[in-house]
Structure 1
Amino acid sequence: MHKATDLKVLYFGTPVVLISSRNEDGGANLAPMSSAWWLGQSCVLGLGNTAQTAVNLRREGECVLNLPSSGQVDAVDALALLTANPDVTEHRRQQGYRFERGKFAAAGLTEQPSELVRAPRVAECPVQLECRLEAAAPLAGNPHCTAFEVTVVRAHVEERLLVPGTDHYVDPLGWDPLIMKFCEFFGDGRRLAPSRLAEGWQMPGRLPAGVRA
């Protein structure tokens, strides 16, 4: 039997993406997100308008989509409640967000130069996609968010993840992406660790702080 319900969150399970971009002062920004979908060489990213990443994308017109593996959950979680936008709204403060420009250092990650865009790659991420912005449009149902369409102009993949004997195909058995499902972290089909985001958003049923599945 189905139940009609007004779901508050629709994160049914998508890969986490670490978006790297350049701030107005030339420094690097890094932000986790999971509102992304893919088709061919295109990707659509859903971002809040006040996010520093959204500001940077509009100004710079480029970014890198870094896909972490499930083993990098701690680095991603360290970024969950950080923002490079110094204007932290009261709502975000109540959720636990704080201002931080040094995102790479905060997560213990390393900047790696890109080849076709100015934004850096995350050296530790096994998949890195250099992208250029093609279009941006407000979401019809949420004027505070924007859908950014980007095109992948260069992909970097760890050799161990490629199907042996090919240069163009990722082995689905070797690739274990970090998944965000209803604000909780999953990998290899199981919950991995507590999520700061779930705690900040006061999600029911979240893992207790300090407890791993």
Structure 2
Amino acid sequence: MNNKITKGPSTVLFPVPTVLVTSRLEGGDPDIITIAWTGIMNSEPPVVYISVRPVGRHSYNLIKESGEYVINIPSASQVAVVDYCGTVSGKEVDKFKETGLTPVPAQYVKAPLIAECPVNVECRVKQVISLGSHDVFVGEVLAVHFNKDVLDEKGRPDFELIEPYGYCTGEYRLISKKIGYYGYSKKEMPR
């Protein structure tokens, strides 16, 4: 029995990570943009991407001209700040000042880390791919920073403490509940 209903093409992969991306030009003020279209592209070397609309996005020009950005992964407790940063333009508003977020110098790029975000990923643009409504900024990961209080006793990220969340067709949703681990099915599946 076919229980499927066919719809037209759309972007229904969910959840997608919700992050704050910082950018800055030499001598200029930093900006923050909320991005939900981001992910991993390669593991060695580590490569990630963000997709940004070229029209009407102040951060787009900062990233395009500087060739670098920082992906800042927020906690669920920061969802209102993240939403705000996605609804106002950095051309008109100093998002650091308005939100109370703290810019911290990065190690390799001009764009700042956001101190309050538990994870920060410094990236240098390797390639820009224009796809239509968005341009994809493929970024080589230069460094990853963790707030000390989100690491477990072995120095690994504790996702219960980080509380990452995703964006699902207009809603923010928690994604931190563990339901398995890599390779567990080999122990669970009957042979």
Residues in 2 aligned to 1:45 and 1:113: alpha-carbon distance in whole angstroms: 21
TM-score norm. by structure 1 comes to 0.73
Alignment correspondent of 1:134: 126
Q: Does 1:75 align with 2:81?
A: yes
Q: Does 1:42 align with 2:34?
A: no
Residues in 2 aligned to 1:10 and 1:146: alpha-carbon distance in whole angstroms: 19
- What is the letter of the counterpart of residue 64 of structure 1? V
Percent identity reads 26
Residues in 1 aligned to 2:26 and 2:90: alpha-carbon distance in whole angstroms: 11
Residues in 2 aligned to 1:11 and 1:71: alpha-carbon distance in whole angstroms: 24
Alignment correspondent of 1:84: 90
Q: How many residues align?
A: 171
Residues in 2 aligned to 1:6 and 1:120: alpha-carbon distance in whole angstroms: 40
The structure-2 alpha-carbon separation of the partners of 1:49 and 1:24, relative to structure 1 and needing over 3 Å to count, comes to farther
1:118 to partner: Cα distance: 0.7
Computed over aligned residues only, the root mean square deviation of the Cα atoms, in angstroms, reads 2.1
The structure-2 alpha-carbon separation of the partners of 1:45 and 1:188, relative to structure 1 and needing over 3 Å to count, comes to closer
User: Retained in 1: the 8 A contact 2:96–2:102?
Assistant: yes
Q: 2:135 aligns with which of 122, 125, 146?
A: 146
Residues in 2 aligned to 1:52 and 1:155: alpha-carbon distance in whole angstroms: 25
Q: Does 1:185 align with 2:177?
A: no
- What is the letter of the counterpart of residue 52 of structure 2? L
Q: 2:23 aligns with which of 7, 21, 24?
A: 21
Residues in 2 aligned to 1:116 and 1:16: alpha-carbon distance in whole angstroms: 23
The structure-2 alpha-carbon separation of the partners of 1:171 and 1:189, relative to structure 1 and needing over 3 Å to count, comes to closer
The structure-2 alpha-carbon separation of the partners of 1:6 and 1:78, relative to structure 1 and needing over 3 Å to count, comes to same
Q: What SS does structure 2 have at the residue aligned with 1:83?
A: coil
Q: What SS does structure 2 have at the residue aligned with 1:115?
A: coil
Q: Does 1:125 align with 2:117?
A: yes
- What is the letter of the counterpart of residue 58 of structure 1? K
Q: What SS does structure 1 have at the residue aligned with 2:143?
A: strand
The structure-2 alpha-carbon separation of the partners of 1:175 and 1:31, relative to structure 1 and needing over 3 Å to count, comes to same
1:10 to partner: Cα distance: 2.4
User: Retained in 2: the 8 A contact 1:16–1:33?
Assistant: yes
User: Retained in 2: the 8 A contact 1:15–1:34?
Assistant: yes
Q: Residues 164-175 of structure 1: matches in 2 within 5 Å?
A: 164-166=153-155, 169-175=156-162
User: Retained in 2: the 8 A contact 1:70–1:179?
Assistant: no
User: Retained in 1: the 8 A contact 2:159–2:176?
Assistant: no
User: Retained in 2: the 8 A contact 1:78–1:106?
Assistant: no
The structure-2 alpha-carbon separation of the partners of 1:24 and 1:115, relative to structure 1 and needing over 3 Å to count, comes to closer
Q: Which runs of 5+ in 1 are unaligned?
A: 86-99, 191-213
Residues in 1 aligned to 2:144 and 2:75: alpha-carbon distance in whole angstroms: 16
- What is the letter of the counterpart of residue 60 of structure 1? S
Larger radius of gyration: 2
